[in-house]
Amino acid sequence: MGNETKDHAALAEAFIRDEERVDWHDGALWWIRQKRDIASRQIPEWEALREAASRIKSHVLSNLHDYLLEFEANATRNGIRVHWAADAAEHNAIVYSILKEKGIRQMVKSKSMLTEECHLNEYLIERGVDVINSDLGEYIQQLDNEPPSHIVLPCIHKRKEEIGEIFHEHLGTEKGVSDPTTLTRFARRHLRDVFITRRAALTGVNFAVAETGEYIVCTNEGNADMGAHLSEVQIASMGIEKIVPKKAHMGIFLRLLARSATGQPITIYSSHFKKPREGQEMHLILVDMGRSRQLGRPEFRDSLKCIKCGACMNTCPVYRKSGGLSYHNTISGPIGAILAPNLDMKKHADLPFASTLCGSCSNVCPVKINIHDQLYQWRQVIVKEGYAAHTKVLGMKAMAWTFSSPGSFSTLGKAGRWVLNNIPVAVNNRFNPWFRQRDMPEGPKESFSEWYARNHRPGGAVDPAPKASSDLQSIQPE
């Protein structure tokens, strides 16, 4: 780490080299997007739910200070020990001190993007504490020494044969076994032993209710519960933005979350943790890690409404075709691209450009975050702050000069068309970045200005070309 990270385009280039895999990845995610569509259409008031969820989150962000205090007081009254961490270092140190005090050297952890962002596993392993991720996808990613590529489906980029190979290498399954049920059963038996033997379990948090001081963890596998209810020390790590005011608000969020994520009516398990079990210790760490700063950026504040469903990733044409690991950030896809620049603008300067700004992400977001607007706004900020790639800056400057001068626009257009039609080899080569993975088009015979000049009759009337009118008819409804 600390070395130059490759940018999204360079990492995506490696991913798209295997065309068959890209098509499969694209299709797998689009299928989930379609399941989301089917599920959402079964709820007539779906749009009203999105609006309500968005407004509840707006309200929470506008009163977060008081809600954090209310949550802390109620959770403490329930017997939960509440800790505060400004950044990853503080968070990791708190986890370690809790374990150290109990002499615990092994922990099981369910899915938590926050602890991934904090690089908690690496931190603990360096201090002699063994951590096992219990979500199957995260477990596979951990065995393969890779971060998750998707917040809901951590190993969506892997083929079953590759997973079979990982299991063979690390867990001793028979070589060549790749059947998903067989592999899952094997992991079930292996992780059952882990759950039974770990004294400490860490979970993430999906929602925390200020009114009651409880927190809610949603999983499909039951891994968070298996760890938590067998542990003597239970730790939950949450970002400070996860607060909801009242438990009644959970009705809104749980109706939206799983339908948006995978098209399920609800996650299999929605666990409400309020008090430790008899004889158990329950800790909760409230983590800032840039969130209070993002709260102070009016144009980007709404990114904190995110409930981590992953719908924006599943629908994003760039994500589907470039893979989550190309985003070199724990949270990938469109939402990752608007959260990451707040954490480190220089390191993540490329991410807001990894988008076509088509707006599909904003259309599926269950809390109505204007993701594509924020991607566009981050581009402005990043260029202004001087973090944009040089080629991008030069290209933009050249484009600005061309578009602002009609004479140069017309001359360059003519030259471009002539080159495309007469010496295509001049652009169909590896020095032209547009030529990579695609053929250059044939140049049109004339520009719109030329066509207009030719067809425009003095007196203001434009003769519609016969072809154009038949085209128009063809798009009329039957």
CB of 218 to another protein, least distance (A): 9
**Contact (Cβ atoms closer than 8 angstroms) between residue 319 and residue 11:** no
Which of 271/315 has CB closer to another protein?
271
Which of 209/388 has CB closer to another protein?
209
Which of 274/347 has CB closer to another protein?
274
CB of 179 to another protein, least distance (A): 9
**Contact (Cβ atoms closer than 8 angstroms) between residue 206 and residue 196:** no
CB of 370 to another protein, least distance (A): 15
Give the span between the Cα atoms of 353 and 384, in whole angstroms: 14
**Contact (Cβ atoms closer than 8 angstroms) between residue 309 and residue 126:** no
Which of 265/433 has CB closer to another protein?
265
CB of 465 to another protein, least distance (A): 49
Which of 171/453 has CB closer to another protein?
171
CB of 180 to another protein, least distance (A): 4
CB of 7 to another protein, least distance (A): 28
Residue 157, class by beta-carbon neighbours within 10 Å (0-12 exposed, 13-18 middle, 19+ buried)?
buried
Which of 6/59 has CB closer to another protein?
59
Which of 68/200 has CB closer to another protein?
68
Which of 116/225 has CB closer to another protein?
225
Structure tokens at 103: 């002499």
